[in-house]
Structure 1
């Protein structure tokens, strides 16, 4: 209002004034640094000169490759069309979160044409397997397991969020994407929050907790890391002048090895600190530029630094890539490798920074010649002597921009672009990759994609009834004191139910040792715990399938044997544990044996049903009869 009336003559703003505001009477727009896209530039410029009035747009360039490129090429700046937005709707990580949220609003219907896409089928199968989608008993629909899964979606990144707390309090200072947390909130890092500095005192990546204490410091921290890459699959390749570019699926492995403390005033290093953090690994899409051996030989014969040259080339290419793709350099990553075993020569890799890929490097790959030309141009037109942020330095370099050789990079690009040689024919040695989740063949027309190789097993099914209750012995954690009234063991080879009593425990243990697999329901935390009070034998050493544990792993909560039997098999238990204790007090062993045998039969039938169908059935809180996937 004050701007419109003329009472306020100027305003300093973030990008908030970029869209949808018609203030009027503004004459000049001063951009401090290139906004990142041509689209954003003209949106901001459009705030001035309304109603046909004269206006001016002033760009004060930063010292980075993109800003300096436009300063040296104003014709490109004024003639470049708005960028095309790049999306990858088939990014598996993002797609799964969309599907889970969509299912919470409206069930997913198997007949929906969208669900026929192979990528969607794979995502739905993975969500079902992990328990995030619950499939109807009939197999026609999927429901979200959680009522509001969108609350767990992090808009700032595809990874899990880690909360940052003030030390020894529950006061939240913010949250950060898990991958970024290794670089920005490791122990000793300086964290900036609302203009104040904090020192990170605790970084627990396993529990997703970061703690920081308030402290004024005159330095900032910058993480150092090491990286490697593996080509999982080559999707495409092209020949550009004197080299070859490839595009495909990459596995990136990165490890933060330490951090540098630098003074805010002059960025002088005041010390390096080593860190011992686990490696980070993710799969994404990326391109790679091969550096021919004759180019390397020439660089080394001229006493230039080859590694410094390809490193500088990597930085310059990433810095200039937003000219080709609507992105920010922070959405990209890069690795320079003097010799890559799968390619057989040196290579520069540039990849999408988000797991699963966003389609950014694919667009750049389609404009490979333009990418190399513009990278050469930005290095060639910079007047610095040895490299600077305007050409080959990167603000996010994990090795502190070392080594860097600007003229080596210049020579490499000139040799590549000035030569045209016969294409080198070779085959990428792609590793055999085992998927962490079930795969789906494109030939499969259904979602029933969870397949396992079944072998004939000699198995036993065990259930135990006790002499004393949890109340009698001081709680469930004292189950070893409960004693055994009877134990029933079903033998799959003989199809016989065998009875054991407390005096027969050693015979029972011997028999258990003869099976390929022992099956039970809550057998690990209850039955084995009861038996441990009667023998020193290590029952956990036995090959065991606990149906309750498997269900809990999928759903995150427990279901009773009676509930699963009723929904899956249409039958129920004949009694309960309290009734069995009462029968023990009354000396009715025949009743206890009959009841225990029924529990074993139900447990066996659940196992066989799950083995044949790869799911059990239960009724969720919404009243839907749905499946819980099982693999045994």
Structure 2
């Protein structure tokens, strides 16, 4: 059974025993499916409204009503995302079930701490998924029990964060000419203030910058995400707003013909008004849900730093005059282009594929930061398994590196992503080959951030690349699956010498 079903099974046993329970899921769709499964399992003994969902996207009035019922002890089980992790009084709960590792020790203990208030006994369970990070923790429980809570980091100069803070500060008190904001230099502060003047948010009096907009800026500052632009979801039959979703998430969850799940019910998206940010849905009862398929491309815009890692050909073999060409690593600003190209229909309970559909939506662009690792052409040619095996192995290295980076940095798995491309050199990537020339092939692994402008994660990966690559190698080497170990080593050198098989190892 899947980890979600295992978590639901444990929660069902607790609910039948009348133990107030909180179940944490990793995403909105996961929460909705678990809510549906849990209600089906205990529907013969527990009223439907005694089991509720709680996540971002529910309307404020709906969330407040759930919180009040929790405090009054009217709810027996809640299935929630991290929206219920902290900052909300949820009354007395006796059990917590986490379906999947949340991404940091601090977050896990915060979730476990939601139960057992007032010095009462409680139970907390972590059900690990098949994800590499979860499997590592399942094999190394001492890491969870013995490691200290991570150090939280944020980049206050992130453009998306900084501009919003500057708007809120301007609303409270006018800025004087030449005044600095926080640790930012005065000239950079003034440049940003002039940008807000240009967009008619502020007014330049000659001596001060004063608030000129009729909107309250704090309303557009989210405590849980950088973006603020939302799409409203409207019930076609009753012409009533039932939920909202961030604009980026709307591409995968409310494209036309998508099955949108809300409070355990299913709605089909009949029309997505892209320009006006409205999705129109109708109540349906299918035996499947939809899962969007996304295509991602990365283009390097600016190189902040680059360095070299040594590589050797298999068994010490040297090929041509470029055999000493290094493996390049770096980090910098990138343009991330995402496009939802289709969706899968997946059956409830069995999770079988039931079909596919096309999605026609514009691309989404995101300027962020990324770490990259580029293999030289000679190294690709030296692998006896061929180019396809190299690409497959590099993709596996990306998953392993993303896993260990998530552990090493205090971030959630969805804060990072991996993509394969060709050549990180912004002057060469995508350039056509000269007439009569054979274009070189230099596969590149990108480990990029999903936060606009980045918050420093890519920079830290680059700074600690040798340690993180070594940990990634150890993760693959100790995987209990023989097929995974072979795949992890192939394409990186002689399988009899796996340490030399990884970048940075001689």
Instruction: Please confirm whether the aligned pair reaches a TM-score higher than 0.5, indicating the same fold.
Output: yes
Select which of 218, 236, 239 maps to 1:150. Answer: 218
Aligned position for 1:368: 465
Query: 1:323 Cα deviation (Å)?
Result: 0.5
The Cα of 1:162 is off from its aligned counterpart by: 1.4
Q: Tell me what 1:113 maps to.
A: 180
Judge conservation of contact 2:338–2:363 (CA < 8 Å) in 1: yes
Is 1:135 the counterpart of 2:144 in the alignment?
no
Change (3 A) 1:23 1:104: closer
Counterparts in 2 of 1:410 and 1:319: CA distance versus 1, 3 Å: farther
| Deviation digits for residues 144-169 of structure 1 (CA, Å, limit 9, x no counterpart) | 42241322344544152111111255
Within 5 Å, give how 1:367-406 maps onto structure 2.
Answer: 367-384=464-481
The CA distance in 1 between the partners of 2:114 and 2:161, in whole Å, is 34
Instruction: Note closer, same or farther for the CA distance 1:143–1:44 as it changes in structure 2 (3 Å cut).
Output: closer
Alpha-carbon RMSD across the aligned residues, in angstroms, is 3.6
Q: Which residue of 1 aligns with 2:399?
A: 315
State the alpha-carbon separation in 1 of the partners of residues 87 and 197 from structure 2: 41
The match for 1:249 among 315, 333, 353 is: 333
Q: 1:17 to 1:175 in 2, by over 3 A?
A: closer
User: How many Å apart are 1:339 and its aligned residue?
Assistant: 4.8
Matched residues, number = 397
* Contact 1:251–1:282, Cα closer than 8 Å, also in 2: yes
Structure 2 residue corresponding to 1:215, chosen from 284, 289, 302: 284
Contact 1:262 1:271 (8 Å CA) reproduced: yes
Q: Residue in 1 aligned with 2:236?
A: 167
* Mapped contact 1:305–1:408 kept (Cα < 8 A): yes
Unaligned runs of 5+ in 1: 1-7, 393-404, 422-632
Deviations along 1:177-208, one digit per CA (max 9) or x if unpaired, are: 21221122111111111111111111122221
Unaligned stretches of 5+ residues in structure 2? 1-16, 25-81, 312-326, 430-439
C-alpha change, 1:176 and 1:418, in structure 2 (3 Å) is closer
Q: Residue in 1 aligned with 2:168?
A: 101
Residue equivalent to 2:102 = 35
| TM-score normalised by length of structure 2 | 0.68
Counterpart selection for 2:21 from 12, 18, 34: 12
Which position in structure 2 is the counterpart of 1:347? Answer: 444
Contact 1:163 1:208 in 2 (8 A): yes
- Give, in whole Å, the separation in 2 of the partners of 1:365 and 1:147: 41
Q: Deviations over 1:283-339 (max 9, x none)?
A: 111111122334423445368623222223223322332211111121222211255
User: What is the CA–CA distance in structure 2 between the aligned matches of 1:269 and 1:86, rounded to whole Å?
Assistant: 40
Displacement of 1:416 after TM fit? 5.0
Cα deviation, residue 382, structure 1: 2.7
> Displacement, 1:58?
5.2
The alignment partner of 1:305 has SS state of helix
Q: What's the CA shift for 1:126?
A: 1.8
Deviation, 1:340, is: 5.0
Tell me how far apart the structure 2 counterparts of residues 219 and 55 of structure 1 sit (CA, whole Å): 36
Report how far residue 235 of structure 1 moved: 0.8
Partner residue in 1 for 2:253: 184
Q: Contact conserved, 1:324 with 1:364, CA < 8 A, in 2?
A: no
Give the corresponding residue for 1:447: none
- Mapped to 1, the partners of 2:328 and 2:131 lie a distance apart of 28
- Following the alignment from structure 1 to structure 2, what is the Cα–Cα distance between the partners of residues 19 and 346? 45
CA contact (8 A) 1:135 1:143 kept: no
Per the alignment, do residues 306 and 338 of structure 1 end up closer, same or farther by CA in structure 2, a change over 3 Å counting? farther
